[in-house]
Structure 1
């Protein structure tokens, strides 16, 4: 599957028409997010919101997009968003309510590191790659629904996952205590597997909220999860091990797609033509792919249900009433 995806799969060049639409891209100052934002501008989007932790980097991205597309700079806005801060997420979502419309959200920002760090009381991968994007997605869902009904369009809420979820060993799954508690045990964490686990948990969460929010006239929003495959990017920027950076850098040179090619998967998943058939699905190479045994096995199904219940409780602690308000 990996060899076919990386070397043989042909990813269609984006051609969908985004005229009049507003799209949010998190982590759009670099890599896949930047290239996706560039595509959105080329495809006539009315506004792209570059959601980034550092405003100056977002402004640099805007200049780069304008330089290469000759777009009107007013079509791009930089909004602060720090996925390691729940307050930042809440403020961002509140600001988004003032938008005239919101048609698509691409949850691209994330981290990959070998270093243990705690953010908002949880190990950073779990906070930044799982809890925060789901929190943001739920808080933006009402605006996506409102816009879909007002403009006769189906909104799109897309999460960037990874095919590494297929390889997640997830040793914490056998813990006789809550998963989130087990995932927060530094002494028993395999950091080499943690990114994979975070992307598996993200898929669990996306599937869960998709089931709770089916595509209907009152909720015209497609929710999906995609993998861009292995791409040249700076995702290893958070890892301070130079030897690992060099090794991974060489490996990526051999097997990786270009960042632009990988970004096509983001644009496809959040495109106006993506189709209701992708709702709650895992996408690879711009098409629905099997979820794999970590999801579809009896054990996987039980883990998804177990984690889903814990996530609901966690999100209710962060923002009381969030599930009642959204569903």
Structure 2
């Protein structure tokens, strides 16, 4: 294992927005950034839970409502924003849930995990001064590509197929966002991270909840890292030297100290990334705001 110490920067005077920060990886990411001095905005669907989480975070925090499964909520969040954002952490997500739809009619996992963050990022991008960090998963490699002819998986929906597609979309979004930022001459970095196998409540909120809850408890006890350790790749991607469109994760693939991670060939497909961007613009009505 690489034992080289990681120097964490002083983030005093910066603002970080963390989506889904009221539990799990998002909460641990918020704690870590707050300890470094950043003012952390918890962008959460349930403000009461968000305030309870914020009370346990050292440093300056704020709670704002954001429902990524509802584009009207995403727009309201962005329209109410003023001031710089040093770090935009696209952390929130749902995993392997039964078939469902967002408020705008999109397949629930693709709509929440990808389209909601796509719209949020582009609507806030003119405020971002540092990095956009988008959370993916090692399960992005479980699918061969985006089903552009059936992105809502009307044919052959399974909870994990939908999750894998949404996590692949997160990486393709990171890739195309970086290409556009570079073309526009922006210093902002678009990067991604994944936690490996981390013990959070995400796995137990999907299909077959009782069986999954029992399986998750066993797996979390025997194999998983804590949520705090699982958040380290996100903190690494947010604060360390990392290449444009870089992907951070545990060096041991599923656990271990953070470093650069492997991504599947499908997640490196620039043509697919551009096609996904165009589809996402059509679906959300939101476009890249910067000009070259």
TM range (shorter): 0.7 to 0.9
**TM-score, normalised on structure 1?**
0.79
- The higher relative CO (CA closer than 8 Å, separation ≥ 6) is in 1
Write out the 4+ residue segments of structure 1 that deviate beyond 4 Å after TM superposition: 8-14
Do residues 107 (structure 1) and 75 (structure 2) align?
no
| Alignment counterpart, residue 293 of structure 1, candidates 257, 265, 270 | 265
Structure with the higher helix share, 1 or 2: 1
Q: Is 2:50 the counterpart of 1:58?
A: yes
SS of 2:225's equivalent in the other structure is coil
* Structure with max Cα Rg: 1
Partner of 1:137: 121
- Look up the match of 1:251: 219
What number of residue pairs does the alignment pair up?
Answer: 282
Could you give the per-residue CA deviations for residues 61-84 of structure 1, whole angstroms, max 9, x where no partner exists? 01122xxx3x3xxx1100000000
Q: Secondary structure at the match of 1:50?
A: strand
Counterpart of 2:61 in structure 1 is 76
The residue aligned with 1:326 is: 290
1:55–1:79 Cα contact (<8 Å) kept:
yes
Range 11-20 or range 255-264, more displaced: 11-20
**Structure 1: tracts of 5 or more residues without a match:** 1-7, 149-154, 174-178
Report the 3-state secondary structure (helix = DSSP H, G, I; strand = E; otherwise coil) of the residue aligned with 1:132.
helix
Which residue is equivalent to 2:274? 308
- Aligned residue in 2 for 1:226: 193
Change (3 A) 1:58 1:193: same
Is 1:165–1:196's contact at 8 Å kept on the other side of the alignment?
A: yes
Query: Are residues 202 and 168 of structure 1, via their aligned partners in 2, closer, same or farther at CA, if it must alter by over 3 Å?
Result: same
Query: C-alpha distance in 1, partners of 2:5/2:51?
Result: 29
Where does the alignment leave 5 or more consecutive residues of structure 2 unmatched? 251-257
- Given the superposition, is the C-alpha separation of residues 53 and 10 from structure 1 closer, same or farther in structure 2, using an over 3 Å criterion? farther
1:172-251 equivalent positions in 2, closer than 5 A: 173=147, 179=148, 181-214=149-182, 219-239=186-206, 241=208, 242-251=210-219
Q: Pick from 234, 248, 254: which aligns with 1:266? A: 234
Question: What SS is found at the alignment partner of 2:213?
Answer: helix
Shift of 1:253: 2.1
TM-score by length of 2: 0.88
Alignment match, 1:4:
none
Deviations 1:208-245 (A, max 9, x none): 111111188x5221110111111010103432520122
Look up the SS of the partner of 1:134 in the other structure.
helix
Tell me, in whole angstroms, the C-alpha distance in 2 between the residues paired with 1:41 and 1:185.
39
Q: Is the 8 A contact 1:104 1:270 kept in 2?
A: yes
Does the CA contact (< 8 Å) of 1:14 and 1:268 recur in 2? no
1:11/1:264 contact within 8 Å kept: no
Alpha-carbon distance change, 161 to 132 in structure 1, aligned in 2, over 3 angstroms: same
